[in-house]
Amino acid sequence: MVYTPRSARPGALLVGTVAVLGLLTACGNDSGAPSAGPATVPGTAAPARDTPTTPPSGPASSPAGSSPVSVPEAAGSPGGATASATRASTTPAAASTRCHTSELRASVGRNDPGAGQENFPVVLTNTSARTCTVRGYPGAAFVNGSGTQLGPDPKREPGTPVTVTLRPGKSAWAGLTFSNPEISGAKTARPAALVVTPPDERDPLKAAWSGGPVPVSGNSSAVRLTVLSPGTGP
């Protein structure tokens, strides 16, 4: 048995206690509380970061395998919505070939009576320098010298409209027919003119009328109009 002097025992107890506390600290406690972080040791690597501390000076690069996100241009910027609208609005539209009122002259041809009917060709002539077209029925109305309409609008005879191409100086005609008032007994009036409106137009033309009295009311007073055909009459 080795004899230990009394003066040496307290020192040995102190060393042992320190060693036990060191082990308890390293293992943590039973309550689950987080322990102190690791001590910084000179020469070890720094912790990894999700992003660099200082942003790169060049353009940001996409992560490997990802596609760049396209950001729409603001309206009004070059190539944006405004530029697209401008391009669309400057696309030339197809020119209309329809004859306009200002390009036509109206006239009434010679009467071709038959079987108790009066038959007048209503002629539209292209007075412009371009080729244009007419299709369907013209509008028509008899008027007196002051421009007041005489009788109802003519009725449309059943027919198949065709597109009539009018080169400069060429004409199309529609048949205006009514029963002879002396035979039908209809009430009559003597027009000063026949107002003619080209198909799909709003502005009328005025043609002088020299065909005598026309029916405006009563029995068999209806006036009829046919579709336009090429030429100046039958």
pLDDT in tens, 126-159: 999 999 999 999 999 999 999 999 999 999 999 9
pLDDT band at 95 (very low <50, low <70, confident <90, very high): low
What is the arithmetic mean of pLDDT over 208-232?
Answer: 92
Residue 58: predicted pLDDT: 47
Q: Do 109 and 173 touch, CB atoms closer than 8 A?
A: yes
Q: Where are the domains of the chain?
A: 101-230
What is the arithmetic mean of pLDDT over 185-197?
Answer: 95
What is the arithmetic mean of pLDDT over 113-120?
Answer: 94
This prediction's pTM: 0.60
What is the arithmetic mean of pLDDT over 41-59?
Answer: 42
Q: Which CATH architecture has domain 101-230?
A: Sandwich (2.60)
User: For residue 42, with 0-12 CB atoms within 10 Å meaning exposed, 13-18 middle and 19 or more buried, which class applies?
Assistant: exposed
